[in-house]
Amino acid sequence: MSSSHPSLSAQHVLRAILALAVGGFSIGTGEFVIMGLLPDVARDLGINIPTAGHLISAYALGVVIGAPVLAVLGARWPWRRLLIALMAAYAVGNFLTAIAPSYGTVWVTRFLAGFPHGTYFGVAALVAARLVAPHRRAQAVAYVMLGLTVATLLGVPIATALGQWLSWQAAFIFVSVIAVLTMALILRFVPFVPANTLASPLRELGALKRKQVWLTLGIGAVGFGGMFSVFSYVKSTLMDLAGLSLSAIPMVLALFGLGMVLGNLLGARYADRHLDRSIQLVLIWASGVLLLFMLTAHHPVLGSLNILLIGTMVALGPALQIRLMDVAGDAQTLAAALNHSAFNLANALGAWLGGLTIAAGWGWTSTAWVGALLALGGLALHTLSLRIKD
């Protein structure tokens, strides 16, 4: 990977970005592992599965609120110091989840664990983009996001298996340990970037005056929700409809992770060349593969492969991150962090709407058409954004 920083070699840049990606691995594992452990969590806490799904929404809402708050408060912090502090908070939040004694306290700790998520990814993306040439920004962001996608391929299945073998609480201890490791790697490999003396909370809040910022966030919040509508309930759906055994679920989660890795890397390459076109194509693709799940969910092999295809929707992430950098002007930190607020609002929205349709008796596959409608909604917002000037 070529470097735009004159004092750093390409190898040093790669090590710095990979250190940031380990943080993404911790966050991705912590965010997604609960989806594979929902029945275990529900049984242990004495609640039903749709109610346990609200813990997914609690984490997502923590991201939505925490990202702008921490981005504004940390606007004048040196980026490396801010990243280390955010990972420390993430480690503590997941440890508290592991020791929480009741549904109410678990809900609160998931909310708090979500707080540093968006700001970490936003600042990490800014650091990665600054370290490489302008025409490789999306790929640099994708490498940071690679930690999150590899988490779904390796971290989530490992943590899920650990949770089923020991207890679901052990999975969150695992996440905390990785977060502490990330702190050491960032301190060792990420170059020091001094605080921006011109930055201020007021200037960061200036991003909220821009129409294109709001439209880009809307694309992520709505369009990405379809993935979570299906994936939040994938374990119960495939076990009930396709007859998959419990032991096969980690493999399904790994297939989803493989899809995320492929979508992340291939989508970023295309986004560096054709940014808005890549957003359109991903959302059209998403609506198709989500609708397909209505048919494949009854078949163990086809349904599992369909989950891989749904995972490729993550290609939307690097493209929207770069679009926000382009439209945010000098309010980069807040805009970059808000991208992950939008994605986790999508998480909350998708899990909530999917849970509503299931609870209403419309069946497990109802999450597929809910997801397709959300993807098409994101496409409509992107079309609108191309016709409106900021």
Domain ranges of the chain: 10-387
> Quick one: DSSP state of residue 18?
H
pLDDT of residue 204: 64
Q: At what angle do helices 10-36 and 168-189 cross, to 10 degrees?
A: 170
Find the Cα–Cα–Cα–Cα dihedral 153, 334, 2, 263, rounded to 10°: 30
pLDDT at residue number 194 = 65
State both tokens at 6. 């004159």
The pLDDT value recorded for residue 91 is 95
Q: How far apart are CA 61 and CA 183, in angstroms?
A: 24
* Domain 10-387 CATH class label: mainly alpha
346 φψ region: left (φ > 0), alpha (ψ -120 to 50), beta (else)? alpha
The CB-side HSE value for 254 (13 A sphere, CA atoms) comes to: 11
State pTM to two decimals. Answer: 0.77
**pLDDT at residue 158, rounded to an integer:** 83
DSSP 8-state class, residue 154: I
The SS3 of residue 7 is coil
What is the predicted pLDDT for the residue at 375? 93
pLDDT of residue 179: 94
CB 364 within 8 A of CB 240: yes
CA separation for the pair 182, 159 (Å, rounded) = 17
Mean pLDDT in runs of 10 for the chain (390 residues)? 58 85 91 79 77 80 84 80 93 91 87 90 85 78 83 80 82 93 92 64 66 88 89 85 82 84 85 86 93 91 92 88 79 75 81 85 87 93 84
